[in-house]
């Protein structure tokens, strides 16, 4: 009997050890192999006139008790400066195709109140207009990506808007801008020609949109004399928002035969992560591992989506002159209970941070074609970087991913060989790990590892050649639960912490915790 009990306890001990046994992922990378540049514009953001994204999130007005610079809140500006946001897309989204820029310039008291019919029919004071947007962009050190109104505007209206923003010569519109306090022309880095023209932008056929695109491309131009050559404004055409490729076929085929009179530099692509499809139903807090798995599974579709569209683009543009611009992406969860459904307010959890890293890694692997992306959206809307409530502000887990990824901006992609392994749970199979490596301008090597496994840590064993690595240090972002969030009351539940990593004989060893994002710098 004693022997049976002893062998039983031995088996239990073995099972216990097996249950917690660590997984190991073997990676290898040759730091001397250089891929495409990971364009810093992949870390762009999107700020639409929607809910509290602009009003309250950015704009509180000069008379607010919330500390501000010319009406723009200081806490938000300081937080965004730290992210080196390369570009901000504004004013929409669906809102762009109903926006008439003239209503948002000039003395605040004279601006008309309008209805935001794209998002809940709320009254818009128009106090955040072109000059306020440009002020915001300059305060955070970013570049403007404006979407012009094709759906309910005219080429003339859009052309005059560009002239207002960019003309240096003393035209009437340049003088008007000067009278509004801005004598020097603004820089506009990117111009989107319409938004989702196959749906909220006017429900156009591809052929109808193409006829508009050609006209806008021909007549809506940047007049800033400094924006020539490499700093010319890039024009971005509406692209797909669904996996089918007919729209891309039509637009790219036309582009292949374009003459001198029209052109575009980028094709937009929109894809949101909605774990249960539309209408969205996945909660942004209080969910479990099953919802976590479904959401990550759904987000990984981005890779296949890009491949499909790239195959068509490669057919008509083998030299990859036209960039694929993923100017709306991110998690779209159910609105937070108690909020106005038209404001698209959701919390942002560790799950969203992991989802962000997976998408950024996908974009980096497609960097030869995908050269710009804008997460939706910057503040208080969808997968936000920042949440505000009147004077309060909190940084989300997604914010910290963007901060951890700073070294990847404009770094050179280095391919990583690895077997991602698999995690099976609730009928869903996910890769266990994901990895991204790049070299920055100073020659430093950076390695990112995402551990998707919600329960098990993973030992990383990375063989590094092509560079003599002497030391490694880094940060890990994780939290007790997949739905851990930062709140105004408890803002530091999901924040990066230092992680220890060892380097010996060209091998890097570290353990990455379950459900985590880790970025390591490897120093020569």
Active-site residue list: 196, 328
Q: Is 223 in the site for ligand AHR (CB under 6 A)?
A: no
Compute the least distance from the CB of residue 381 to ligand AHR, in Å.
7
3-state secondary structure of 221: coil
**Shortest approach of ligand AHR to residue 347 CB, angstroms?**
17
- 195 belongs to the binding site for ligand AHR (CB under 6 A): yes
Interior angle at CA 316, CA 408 and CA 269, nearest 5: 45
Residue 280 has φ and ψ, to the nearest 5°, of: -65, 140
Interacting span for ligand AHR (CB under 6 A) from 88-96, 287-295, 301-309, 410-418:
88-96
Q: Distance (Å, rounded) from C-alpha 389 to C-alpha 378? A: 15
- Indicate the residue among 144 and 375 with the shorter CB distance to ligand AHR: 375
Is residue 94 a contact point for ligand AHR (CB under 6 A)? Answer: yes
Nearer to ligand AHR by C-beta: 187 or 195?
195
The residue number whose beta carbon is nearest to ligand AHR equals: 93
Binding mask 42-81 for ligand AHR (x = CB under 6 A): ------x---------------------------------
> Which of 196, 291, 352, 513 is close enough to bind ligand AHR by CB under 6 A?
196
Does residue number 197 form part of the binding site for ligand AHR (CB under 6 A)? Answer: no
**Residue entry with tokens 């924040």:** 495
The number of residues that bind ligand AHR (CB under 6 A) is: 10
What's the start-to-end Cα distance of the chain, in Å? 61
Cα 98 to Cα 45, 65, 120, 134, 505: the distances in Å are: 21, 32, 13, 20, 60
- Closest to ligand AHR by CB, 57 or 185: 57
Q: What residue has token string 């551990």? A: 451
Q: How deeply is 337 buried, as exposed, middle or buried, from its count of CB atoms within 10 A (0-12, 13-18, 19+)?
A: exposed
Among 376, 401, 438, 477, binds ligand AHR (CB under 6 A): 376
**Which of residues 93, 192, 202, 335 is near ligand AHR by CB under 6 A?**
93
92 binds ligand AHR (CB under 6 A): yes
Give me the DSSP letters along 174-189: HHHHHHTT--SPPPEE
Strand partners, 387: 394
Which token pair is 426?
């609730």
Structure tokens at 11: 């088996």
Per-residue x/- marks for ligand AHR, 323-362, CB under 6 A?
A: -----x----------------------------------
Counting every residue written for the chain, the total comes to: 524
Rounded least distance, CB 93 to ligand AHR, Å:
3
User: What's the min distance (Å) between Cβ of 161 and ligand AHR?
Assistant: 19
Using CB atoms within 10 A of its CB, is residue 13 exposed (0-12), middle (13-18) or buried (19+)?
A: exposed
Span of 90-98, 353-361, 430-438, 484-492 interacting with ligand AHR by CB under 6 A: 90-98
Closer to ligand AHR by CB, 96 or 449: give it: 96
Q: Check: CB of residue 235 under 8 Å from CB of residue 266.
A: yes
Scanning 92-100, 218-226, 358-366, 511-519 for contacts with ligand AHR by CB under 6 A, the matching segment is 92-100
Return the structure tokens found at 462. 């990375």
- Report how far residue 286's alpha carbon sits from residue 347's, in angstroms, rounded to the nearest whole number: 10
Q: List residues binding ligand AHR (CB under 6 A).
A: 48, 92-94, 195-196, 328, 376-377, 382
């Amino acid at each position: 009997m004693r022997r049976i009990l002893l062998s039983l306890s031995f088996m239990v001990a073995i099972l216990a050890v097996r249950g917690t046994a660590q997984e190991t992922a073997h990676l290898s990378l040759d730091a001397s192999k250089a891929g495409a540049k990971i364009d810093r514009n992949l870390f762009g953001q999107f700020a639409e006139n929607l809910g509290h994204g602009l009003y309250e999130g950015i704009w509180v007005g000069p008379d607010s008790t919330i500390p501000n610079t010319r009406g723009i809140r200081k806490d938000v500006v300081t937080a965004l400066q730290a992210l080196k946001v390369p570009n901000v897309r504004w004013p929409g989204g669906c809102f762009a195709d109903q926006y008439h820029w003239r209503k948002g310039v000039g003395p605040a008291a004279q601006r008309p109140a309008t209805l935001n019919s794209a998002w809940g029919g709320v009254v818009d004071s128009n106090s955040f207009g072109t000059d306020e947007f440009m002020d915001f962009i300059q305060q955070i050190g970013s570049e403007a990506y404006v979407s012009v109104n094709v759906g309910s505007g005219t080429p003339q209206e859009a052309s005059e808007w560009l002239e207002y923003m960019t003309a240096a010569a003393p035209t009437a519109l340049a003088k008007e801008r000067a009278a509004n306090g801005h004598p020097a022309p603004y820089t506009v880095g990117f111009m989107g020609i319409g938004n989702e023209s196959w749906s909220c932008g006017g429900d156009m056929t591809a052929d109808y949109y193409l006829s508009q695109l050609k006209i806008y491309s021909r007549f809506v131009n940047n007049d800033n004399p400094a924006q020539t050559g490499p700093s010319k404004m890039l024009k971005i055409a509406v692209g797909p928002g669904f996996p089918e490729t007919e729209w891309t076929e039509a637009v790219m085929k036309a582009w292949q035969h374009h003459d001198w009179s029209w052109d575009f530099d980028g094709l937009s692509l929109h894809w949101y992560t909605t774990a249960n499809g539309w209408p969205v139903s996945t909660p942004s807090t209080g969910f479990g591992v099953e919802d976590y798995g479904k959401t990550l599974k759904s987000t990984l579709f981005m890779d296949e989506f890009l491949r499909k569209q790239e195959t068509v683009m490669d057919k008509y543009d083998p030299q990859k002159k036209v960039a694929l611009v993923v100017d709306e992406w991110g998690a779209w969860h159910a609105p937070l209970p108690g909020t106005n459904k038209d404001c698209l307010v959701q919390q942002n959890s560790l799950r969203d941070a992991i989802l962000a890293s997976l998408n950024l890694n996908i974009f980096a692997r497609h960097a030869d074609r995908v050269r710009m992306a804008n997460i939706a959206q910057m503040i208080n809307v969808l997968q936000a970087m920042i949440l505000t409530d009147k004077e309060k502000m909190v940084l989300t887990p997604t914010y910290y991913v963007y901060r951890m990824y700073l070294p990847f901006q404009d770094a050179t992609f280095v391919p990583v060989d690895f077997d991602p392994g698999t995690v099976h749970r609730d009928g869903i199979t996910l890769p266990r790990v994901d990895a991204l490596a790049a070299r920055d301008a100073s020659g430093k090597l950076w390695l990112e590892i995402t551990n998707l496994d919600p329960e098990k840590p993973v030992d990383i064993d990375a063989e590094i050649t092509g560079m003599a690595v002497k030391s490694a240090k880094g940060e890990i972002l994780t939290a007790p639960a997949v739905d851990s969030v930062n709140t105004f009351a408890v803002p530091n539940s999901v924040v990066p912490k230092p992680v220890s990593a060892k380097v010996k004989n060209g091998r890097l060893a570290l353990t990455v915790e379950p459900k985590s994002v880790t970025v390591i710098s490897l120093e020569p």
